Amino acid sequence: MKFMMFVCTDSQPETGVSDDCGPWVAANDANGRRVLGSPLVSTKEALTVRVRNGELLVTEGPFAATQDVIVGFDILECADSDEAIEVARAHPLAQLGRLELRPFASLEELIARGDSSQS
C-alpha cells in the first residue's frame, strides 16, 4: 500500500535538517519502504498556478498562508497504515514538526465510489 508522507514544520527550517534524515532515508531505502522522497526548496521559490474562467493566474509563494510549511515528501510502500505510522514515527522531523500520511487512491476506486472531487 502506497502512502504520501508530507514532511511539515512550523517555519522554514535552516540548513542542515536534511542531514539529520540521512540514516532514516538510508534504512528505509534499503528495506524498500521508501519509494521516493526529497526535501523541497524554500516557499519563497514556490509558484501557485490557478485557472479561473479560462484565465491563467500564477502567483509567487505557497498556495495557502499558513504557519505549516511543507519542507519535503516521501512516498512509502507499507503493508498498512500501522506500518506507515511506525515508519513516520522514526523520521527525525517527527520530533520537530509533523508528518502527514495519506494513502494513495486509485482512479478506479474513486470512480466506483462516485468521488470525482479527488481527480
Residue 90 lies in domain: 2-118
For 71-96, what is each residue's pLDDT tens digit? 999 999 999 999 999 999 999 999 98
47 SS3 class: strand
What does the pLDDT look like over 6-57, one tens digit per residue? 999 877 665 546 668 999 999 999 999 999 999 998 888 989 899 999 999 9
Task: Place 104 in a pLDDT band, splitting at 50, 70 and 90.
Answer: very high
Report the distance separating Cα 80 and Cα 46, nearest Å. 32
Q: How many CB atoms lie within 10 A of CB 88?
A: 21
| Type of residue at 47 | L
CATH number of the domain at 65, please: 3.30.70.1060
Q: What is the pTM of this model?
A: 0.80
pLDDT of residue 115: 67
Predicted pLDDT of residue 94: 93
How far is 94 from 8, CA to CA, in rounded Å? 9
Q: How many domains does the chain have?
A: 1
